[in-house]
Amino acid sequence: MIMMGFFTEYGIPITYSGWMQYGWPLVPLGSALWLATTFLNALSQVGMDKGYGLWVGMSAFSGLVTNFMSDAATVALIGPIVVPMGIMTQVAGEPWAIGMAVALASSYVHFLIVGSPANALTFALGVYPDTNKRALEAIDFVKYGFGFFILSMLLLWIIGFLVIYPTVGFPEGILEQATKVLETATR
């Protein structure tokens, strides 16, 4: 009983701390900046190196990656890369916008079982008790979940990026603040 209370109280922070190991070494080693520059150069080849194109490209990347690993691990891994990308564009609000795009898209774990505990539980417990026949097969997640993934991404791109971002706007001075943080972290 005491152990259960410990995990209920501290389990989530401990779990998230474990996922942070993916991304934090990228910053002091300079790998995050190198990856950000590499990704930004690749995206500039197809005209997606700032604004809407960058948000769509990186949110699509985050959405795909999050189906293969945990959403928290995806953000811990991609976050230190995308924020410097937003800073390098020198567009006001870009670090915040691209960070939000990646964070929101990392929630769209619909088409693989491994990406989310909810998917894993649904799959594991989806057995008819009288026949022991599976109610769901792994391919069902792909068949139905991929459509939901596409719908989720389209809603993010249309409603989120074209309606909410322009209406709400970006925090004041975010580019300058993020630039100072990046300079401090790379010293």
DSSP letter at 22 equals T
**Which residue range forms the structural domain that includes residue 52?**
2-185
Q: Which pLDDT band, with edges at 50, 70 and 90, does 1 fall under?
A: very low
Mean pLDDT of 145-155: 94
SS3 127: strand
Does the model's pTM come out above 0.75? yes
Min mean pLDDT across 22-36, 74-88, 105-119, 143-157 is at 22-36
Mean pLDDT of 47-66: 90
Q: How many domains does the chain have?
A: 1
Q: Which pLDDT band, with edges at 50, 70 and 90, does 6 fall under?
A: very low
Q: What angle do CA 173, 89, 107 make, to 5 degrees?
A: 80
% of the chain exceeding 90 in pLDDT: 22
Cβ atoms within 10 A of the Cβ of 174, count? Answer: 18
Q: Rounded to the nearest 10 degrees, how much is the dihedral formed by the CA atoms of 137, 124, 67, 162? A: 90
Highest-confidence range of 18-27, 70-79, 138-147, by mean pLDDT? 138-147
Burial grade of 72 (CB within 10 A; 0-12, 13-18, 19 or more): middle
% of the chain exceeding 70 in pLDDT: 81
